[in-house]
Amino acid sequence: MSWILVTGAAKGLGAEICHQLAKEGHSVVIHYRTSRDGALQTAERCKQLGGKAEVIQGDFSSDQSLREFIHNYQQRFPHTEGLVNNVGNYLVKPALSTSLQEWNDLFQTNLTAPFFLIHELIPSLKKHQGSIVNIGSAGTHAFLSNSYSSIYHLTKTSLWMLTKNLAKELASDLVRVNMVSPGQLENSVDPLHYSRLPMKRYGTLAEVAAVVTFLMHKQNSYITGQNIEVTGGLHV
């Protein structure tokens, strides 16, 4: 049996991605750091929707804890056909108000962890001609400036460049690498008032998860190196 690993999936967008993948018949591994109860609830819902689901705990805050996670994961789930790098931390601060520790912590979780997971899982992803989806942020691929969450935005822009480079590197192995970048959602940490949005409403978790699920389908195997913004026209 092959699995799709979704990181940060105990609640929110990660949980909704798992639900939609399960509804399509996929087997999902639900990663969590501390929210075990939430992860178990996500798994139960996935099973109700017709998929297979397991949970796994992992701390991505250090290189050592990442190594421990991937060792445990590969022992339990040797066959991986998909990876959704959803886990990420957010920081609302201008660049010059950000400490070196905050900088390192954000890059560790938002960039190092996705790279390391891809690096370690790539033999299985090649074998299954798999799909990798990295979760970005609105405005990432336009390289728009962002003064209120500068370092967070920098991590996501870097993740977009990693996505493009890996898409080219892995194309001959038929492994697809894409990014999905949400805009203002119903659960956004720092939302704009909906009246300032082009569609005069917030996006939903289900709308973002649907795009991730689309990119996991084998029938869409000619799509790679793309950043699909689910933003309601925010930066048009």
- Active-site positions read 152
Are β-strands 80-85 and 27-32 bridged in parallel, bridged antiparallel, or unpaired? unpaired
CA dist 45 and 11 (Å) reads 12
- The percent helix, strand, coil of the chain (3-state, each to 5) is 45, 15, 35
**205 residue type, one letter:** L
What's phi and psi for 78, nearest 5 deg? -70, -15
Terminal C-alpha separation, the chain: 42
The answer to whether the beta carbons of residues 17 and 86 sit under 8 Å apart is: yes
What's the count of helices (H) and strands (E) in the chain, helices before strands? Answer: 7, 7
What's phi and psi for 37, nearest 5 deg? -60, -40
* H helical segments located in 77-223: 100-107, 113-127, 150-170, 205-216
